[in-house]
A and B are shown apart, each in its own frame.
Chain A
Amino acid sequence: MPAQDQPTRLPKHMRSIDDSRFGYDEARHLLWRAGFGGTPDQINTLASWGPQRAVEHIVEYDSIPYESPDATLFDSQIIRPYTEEEQRIIRQARQSRDEETVARFRLMQQQSQRDDRRQVRRIQHWWVTRLIESPRPLEEKLTLFWHGHFATSYRTIENSFHMFQQNQLFRKHASGNFAELLYQIIRDPAMLAYLDNNDSRVGRPNENLARELMELFSLGVGNYTERDIKEGARALTGYSFNDDSFVFNENNHDKGSKNILGQSGRLDGDDFVTAILEQRACSRFICTKLYRYFVAQVPFNWRDIPSDQRAFIDQMASTLLRSKYDLQPVLTKLFLSEHFYAPSVMNEQVKSPVELVVGAVRSLHTPVRDLNILTEALDLMGQNLMFPPSVKGWDGGRSWVNTSTFFVRQNILAFLLTGKKPVGYDALADQQEYKSEELLSWLRETDPSAARDPARVTDYLLRLTLGSAPPRASATLEDFIHDHGDNLERGMLTALLLIITAMPEYQLC
């Protein structure tokens, strides 16, 4: 890679990377950013395909067969509204001060809440499994993107099936059409409950959903007025749900005339969304968020984005508009762009906890060992799936890392590699042994002598795990191999990976 003598400049255009510049490092970068990393085989395969075919394979994942989750996978009836009969009994018991009946219902409710908390755990495990197994990593990565974008927390809504339904919605539209997703999100029970729209009615509109719909989901601060919020909230009145389905309560809907973002008339929720989609700020805001997720951390505020990156994001936004909010074209162009493979972009993103854990299993082929421990570790590292910290989602970037999470990050890797339980667990070690020598199979097949050379093996492992081989790290690892008799058996390879994954640079992708 050429030395960077001058302050980094990034290409403003969306021109594609030259075939000749797409090698091992670029294929590795693509696998990490558009997914969760790859094995040496996968990296070398994509590198040999060249950028066009590699990106097409990743983005047009619909052609890769993978079972889509069954809607009946989880129990929809754990949390359900009381039947009319039950409501009558409770009312009567309260009136007649029948404490025993009231207590019985309370216990029933507590039991179903406990059952539901167990189910949300199972949903977390199910999703982590999917993240690890899916042959369409971009689908899961985008599902996770929308989960952070339209952040909704189980902690508030306490209904696991609604969280599952919302997750399905994100997966269905993951790389589909953003406009369609926006029309659907104002009908999503989890979102309606989370932002208190289910009780919003004419005369008493709740502004929460209207505000976040513009501020966090589509336009960003500064691109709408307080009046747009008030009028938008009126347009959303009556958008509610019953049990697990959206209902439009016409009686609760404000049928009066409204004026939102320059549109006027007797607008409803769909008209509100349409008015949003017609704002130039919308495509820019979504592309800024996509850029932050896939490329680099930039400020949300349009004018604060450094000019090279702003010009690039603006082109992304134009692409998105040209495709009428279809996401595939802009993603394809992004992953093909020279910009995406600039040296200052590669290996500069802090891995999210999900990327760290899922990426380790996928790229190193470690055993999965214990889904309970993996999901708890995600929580300890600040990314509890189904429990984003607020409607703003996860801040990402450097905020993932501090002195506490640093050890959790190192120790969850030690757990995956060796079965040694991470912080907070002291039970017996997982017995399953990690076959680390299989990582070398590609090297062994292409160059048998290299697989026996400590310097070459060290370099190979560092380039796989870090994307580069920092000189001091190489020296330390080679010394370590030398001090232990120059052997390169399974135990040594696992030891090397333990040290590498504890390096600060391993936190980057």
Chain B
Amino acid sequence: MNQHNNPGETRAYTRRDFLNSSLAMASAAVTVPHFIQASAYALPKAAHGLTSIAGVNEDRILVVIQLSGGNDGLNTVVPFLDDNYYRARPGIGIQRDQVLPLSGKGVDGVGLHQSLAPVKELYDDGQCAVIQGVGYPNPNRSHFKSMDIWHTGDTSGTGDGWLGRYVDSECCGFGKGESGQAESTAPATAAIPPIAIGRTAPLALMGRSTKPVSFETADLFRWTGQDVHRDLADPYRAINERAPTANDDHSTAAFLMRTAMDAQVSSEQIRRAVGARPLVNYPNSSLANQLSMVAKMIRAGMKTRVYYVTHGGFDTHSGQGGANGRHAQLLGQFAQATRAFYRDLEAQENAERVLTMSFSEFGRRVSQNASQGTDHGTAAPMMLFGPMVKAGVVGNQPSLTDLDQGDLKYQIDFRSVYAGILDNWLQADAETVLEKRYRAVDVIHAT
């Protein structure tokens, strides 16, 4: 139990004290909330190229767009010169005149679904890379399992998330480990947590010590008790801005008080950020809303380095459509939202700081099924966006005839793409984060 033996000495530090006084940050390390402590610790890194000052190009950000349900890769990046494609998909194939052919060195016979015209714009503008035939050995066709495999970067689908381990390695110097570490030996600092838009936090962002912040709308990332009666806000704030005293700083109560203060700080920061108007118009879709929130948080100078958004509905077992229809609509939403996001980032002059990666847990079967849809498959293309990517098509379209039980054979391991992003964009040690060495796919311009 807390012993408040001398109230004069245990004057509570408030959040405002911390925000207003940089001196407090330097001297009162025992009582500052995690967020502020983390940024104070991050300062020495400026010496080797990274700074945590918002607006500086080298403060690099990764945005992940998850296409949930298994996106049909063959109707996304279409091998329109291959007759086998049309034979396998008589009802849902995209006709040649409805494909937007991709140009570039060594690129032949592949094009984007016509709904991806905004992505084609980015491609032609040198801001989009398409990586062909991405997958992993012994593909799993369960949504859950395959998603877990992509999230953990481990073919068993167990362990911490790859981006959680990345943030862990940046702040605390360890990756995946045994659970059950004594709490007294747990690291005292926490990294700036990744942010996921959505009700639940994706496994990819779960680290040993890193836990993401996730919310569906920022308005709900706060204490709802104050909506019951506004008079409750004051006592709530008074009680949650108490700080532990130096002599019980390691107690669980002190840990909870710091977390409570963190939550207040990040809640206010996030709600202030997303309360702003976007700089450009976004289309009306869930993904566009999510990306516009991310753009606003970036614009507000938040120090978050990883954002995660989700675009669902890709499990097209029946009535998938072709050049038009359900799948076309999903692709259109994806392309338009991504295009608007980069327009926004350009208007903010932040585009150079933001790499976006899209992926899905698997592609779909080569042959359509009896319900004018496609079943769970294996390898599929990934896309990367941003001015830093080496635009073009990486890798070859997997063969449509040399199949593994009716499914494409993968050409590039998805962890090689992760390694490329970790090494060349986030400037982390991919081998530490992925706990194994993968040949990094070369898709980021050297800076």
Q: Which residues of A contact B (CB under 8 A)?
A: 1, 3-4, 99-100, 102-103, 106, 110, 155-156, 221, 292, 297-300, 304, 343, 346-350, 379-380, 390-392, 395, 397-399, 401-407, 410-411, 414-415, 418, 420-424, 467-468, 470-473, 476-477, 479-480, 483-484, 495, 498-499, 502-505, 507-508
* Interface contact B370-A100, CB-CB below 8 Å: yes
* Interface contact B213-A404, CB-CB below 8 Å: yes
Query: At the interface, yes or no: B413 with Cβ under 8 Å from chain A?
Result: no
Given A404-B211, A423-B216, A503-B240, output 4 extra A-B contacts at Cβ < 8 Å.
A102-B370, A350-B252, A468-B1, A471-B4
| Shortest distance from the beta carbon of A99 to any chain B beta carbon, whole Å | 4
* Interface contact B370-A498, CB-CB below 8 Å: no
B-side contacts of A508, CB under 8 Å? 252-253, 256
* Interface contact A470-B4, CB-CB below 8 Å: yes
* Interface contact B3-A420, CB-CB below 8 Å: no
By beta carbon, the residue of chain B nearest A406 is B263
* Interface contact A503-B239, CB-CB below 8 Å: yes
Query: At the interface, yes or no: B404 with Cβ under 8 Å from chain A?
Result: no
* Interface contact A298-B182, CB-CB below 8 Å: yes
Query: At the interface, yes or no: B447 with Cβ under 8 Å from chain A?
Result: no
Q: A391-B158, A395-B179 are in contact. Are A404 and B224 (CB under 8 A)?
A: no
Q: Which residue of the partner chain, among A348, A483, A502, contacts B239 with CB atoms under 8 Å? A: A502
* Interface contact A404-B181, CB-CB below 8 Å: no
One digit per residue, 1 when the CB lies within 8 angstroms of any chain A CB and 0 when it does not, for chain B 161-184 equals 000000000000000001111110
Q: Which residue of the partner chain, among A299, A402, A476, contacts B180 with CB atoms under 8 Å? A: A299
- Which of B231, B251, B259 has the largest count of A CB atoms less than 10 A from its CB? B259
* Interface contact A395-B232, CB-CB below 8 Å: no
A-side contacts of B117, CB under 8 Å? none
Give CA–CA (A419, B95) in the complex, Å: 54
One digit per residue, 1 when the CB lies within 8 angstroms of any chain A CB and 0 when it does not, for chain B 226-247 equals 0111011001101110100000
| Shortest distance from the beta carbon of B252 to any chain A beta carbon, whole Å | 5
A–B Cβ pairs within 8 angstroms, 18 of them? A106-B317, A106-B375, A292-B180, A380-B199, A395-B179, A398-B252, A403-B213, A403-B259, A404-B215, A410-B223, A473-B239, A476-B238, A495-B229, A499-B225, A503-B239, A504-B257, A505-B253, A505-B256
By beta carbon, the residue of chain B nearest A155 is B144
A-side contacts of B257, CB under 8 Å? 504
Give CA–CA (A418, B253) in the complex, Å: 26
Q: Which residue of the partner chain, among B145, B158, B235, contacts A499 with CB atoms under 8 Å? A: B235
Give CA–CA (A479, B144) in the complex, Å: 51
Query: At the interface, yes or no: B25 with Cβ under 8 Å from chain A?
Result: no
* Interface contact A422-B224, CB-CB below 8 Å: yes
* Interface contact A498-B228, CB-CB below 8 Å: yes
A-side contacts of B201, CB under 8 Å? 404
* Interface contact A484-B240, CB-CB below 8 Å: no
One digit per residue, 1 when the CB lies within 8 angstroms of any chain A CB and 0 when it does not, for chain B 310-340 equals 0000000100000000000000000000000
Q: Which residue of the partner chain, among A395, A470, A507, contacts B256 with CB atoms under 8 Å? A: A507
* Interface contact A390-B227, CB-CB below 8 Å: no
* Interface contact B252-A3, CB-CB below 8 Å: no
Q: Which residue of the partner chain, among B183, B200, B370, contacts A398 with CB atoms under 8 Å? A: B183
* Interface contact B232-A3, CB-CB below 8 Å: no
| Shortest distance from the beta carbon of A151 to any chain B beta carbon, whole Å | 11
By beta carbon, the residue of chain A nearest B158 is A390
Give CA–CA (A48, B295) in the complex, Å: 61
By beta carbon, the residue of chain B nearest A300 is B180
Query: At the interface, yes or no: B186 with Cβ under 8 Å from chain A?
Result: yes
Give CA–CA (A349, B253) in the complex, Å: 9
| Shortest distance from the beta carbon of B207 to any chain A beta carbon, whole Å | 11
- Which of B144, B186, B223, B224 has the largest count of A CB atoms less than 10 A from its CB? B224
A-side contacts of B159, CB under 8 Å? 390
Give CA–CA (A477, B232) in the complex, Å: 10
By beta carbon, the residue of chain A nearest B216 is A424
B-side contacts of A410, CB under 8 Å? 223-225
Q: A402-B193, A468-B1 are in contact. Are A502 and B371 (CB under 8 A)?
A: no
* Interface contact A411-B183, CB-CB below 8 Å: no
